[in-house]
Each structure stands twice: as structure tokens, then as C-alpha cells.
Amino acid sequence: ITVIPEVDLPGHMLAALAAYPEMGCTGGPYEVCPRWGVFEDVLCIGNEKSMQFLEDVMAEIIDIFPSKYIHIGGDEAPRTRWEKCPKCQARIRTEKLKADKNHTAEDRLQSYCMTRIEKLLNSKGRQIIGWDEILEGDVAPNATVMSWRGSAGGIKAAQLGHDVIMTPNDYCYFDYYQSEDTRHEPFAIGGFVPLEKVYSLNPTASLTEEQAKHILGTQANLWTEYIPTSEQVEYMVLPRMAALAEVQWTQLEKKDYTNFTTRLAGLIGLYRRDGLNYREPFRQQADSTATEKK
């Protein structure tokens, strides 16, 4: 396997801002949030110290990880602080970042940040991956796009000639419920992604044969805000991961859900042999002990 590190920027940076408040637009004080969320306080892109911080972090990442790809996030970065920040507005003027009917000047500011980091990483022989929000503004020229807010971002990116990893939340978020009867499932963040829904994903839908070549693959996401144990990780992943693996490696015309479910019995046997806390794939309801070790 290849381990790909992710340093999410310029949002999801409250921990960094708590340590270095001068890198935020307001100067703080900031506190590390004890729970998940999307927060207005992001890195101040108008502050050169913030950009130098990012470049220093990337230099450290390059030293530690030999992977071709480095994920730099780009998701869930509100523009609120930038709109009122004198330094950010000065950067917008200096770099001649212009709004248009589809993008604000602050969208362009995020693109400036992502492109600057991409140029640094490209110069070191690395390439970036970013969440589909990096399409807002001007996408970094060599970026690989990870499409999570549905498939639309991935389709757009592939049509623009960018490589794509499809991970649409409505098919690939394994922290979502596996049954509509949530009373008998472990508490989850929401959503509904049953086994058959995962299997039905077509990563290259709406693309020409040439555009489809840009789809590098798929990814399952398991965010663990409400998953406190390894046993519950197993329950949320198995056997949905088997369905996604078949989506990834099976030609579309050879996919057959009925055939898949027949073969799944053998895989369930391996789960049992290894003592894994899988979810029974065909029961209508989970009992109240679903997260206990089987």
C-alpha cells in the first residue's frame, strides 16, 4: 500500500490557530474544538507567515512520506473572515483576484493558496489531491480531485482533464446508517447507505470513454466522530467494503448484485473465522447489541 498523508488547509485549522493565533484573520484567541464541525476561523491567506507555515509543514511532510500524492484538503473553508480581513483583501488586490458570476474574489483567494502549495509540491516531484471544493475558483493545474459532495464535482473535474477519485457521500460514506430503522443500529451521524446502494455506484457515469480514463478509483470514508471502538469500525465497514471493492475492480457490464450476494456467503465465513464484528448483510433489523463483539 501507499500511505498518503493529508494536511487539510486552509480550513479545519483551529488546532494550528490555537498554537499560532497570529496566523488567523482576527488574531484570536482561538481554542481547539472538542467536537467536529465547520468553523469560520481559517488560516489568513493574506498573512505571509501563514503561507510560510504551510510551506514549512509541507517540507516536513515530504521528508516523512515518500508518496507521490499529498492530500491538502481544501474543503469546508468559509470565506467569512477573509471578506473582512484587511490582509486578505490586500492579497486579493495584489494578486488581481477577480470575482465573476460563479466565483467570489475570496474563492479565488483559496485557489491562490492551493495553487501556491501545489507549485511547491510539484517542484519536489509530488502531486496534490484536494476535496471537490478546490473546483471553486480556479482549480490548481495538476490537482487530483476527490469528489465527496456527490459525483458532480468528479464529473466536472474529469471533463476538465483532471484525475479524480470518486467518493460520493451518498454511496461511499460508511459512517452513514445501514438501515432505515435507526433504532436498532449503532448511533451514527445520519444518512442511509445500505449494501446494495454501495454496490450500485458507477464511478464513470455521465463520462465519455476518454473522460472516464481520469477516474483513478473510489474511496470509502469512515469518519469516526460517533464511532468510539474498533468493533464498531468493523461493523460499519463490513461487508460494505466488499461491495465497493467489487465496484472498483469489476467491469460495469459484469456487475451482478445477485451474484455478489451469493458469493458474499463465503466472505462472511472468513469474517466469522477471524472474529470480525461484521453486520449481517441481509437482515432487516439489527438488534440492540449490534456493536458488541460477535
We report the CATH number of the domain holding residue 125 as 3.20.20.80
Does residue 157 belong to any structural domain of this protein? yes
Q: Which of 176, 193, 275, 271 is nearest to 227 (CA)?
A: 176
Does residue 60 belong to any structural domain of this protein? yes
pLDDT tier, 293 (very low <50, low <70, confident <90, very high otherwise): very low
pLDDT tier, 137 (very low <50, low <70, confident <90, very high otherwise): confident
Task: Name the active-site residue from 6, 55, 76, 95.
Answer: 76
The C-alpha cell that represents 255 in the structure block: 456487475
Does residue 292 belong to any structural domain of this protein? no
Q: Report yes or no: 54 and 8 within 8 Å, Cβ to Cβ.
A: no
Does residue 238 belong to any structural domain of this protein? no
**Which residues form the domain of 36?**
6-228
Does residue 241 belong to any structural domain of this protein? no
Does residue 239 belong to any structural domain of this protein? no
> Tens digits of per-residue pLDDT, 275-290?
999 999 986 434 434 4
> Tens digits of per-residue pLDDT, 200-248?
999 999 999 999 999 999 999 999 999 999 999 999 999 999 999 999 9
| Cα–Cα distance list, 66 to 42, 60, 63, 156, 160 (Å) | 28, 11, 7, 30, 28
What is this structure's pTM? 0.91
Q: Report yes or no: 125 and 67 within 8 Å, Cβ to Cβ.
A: no
Does residue 154 belong to any structural domain of this protein? yes
**Distance (Å, whole) CA 133 – CA 145:** 9
Q: How many domains does the chain have?
A: 1
Decide if 209 is catalytic: no
Q: Which of 129, 263, 279, 270 is nearest to 193 (CA)?
A: 279
First to last CA, the chain: 29
Does residue 252 belong to any structural domain of this protein? no
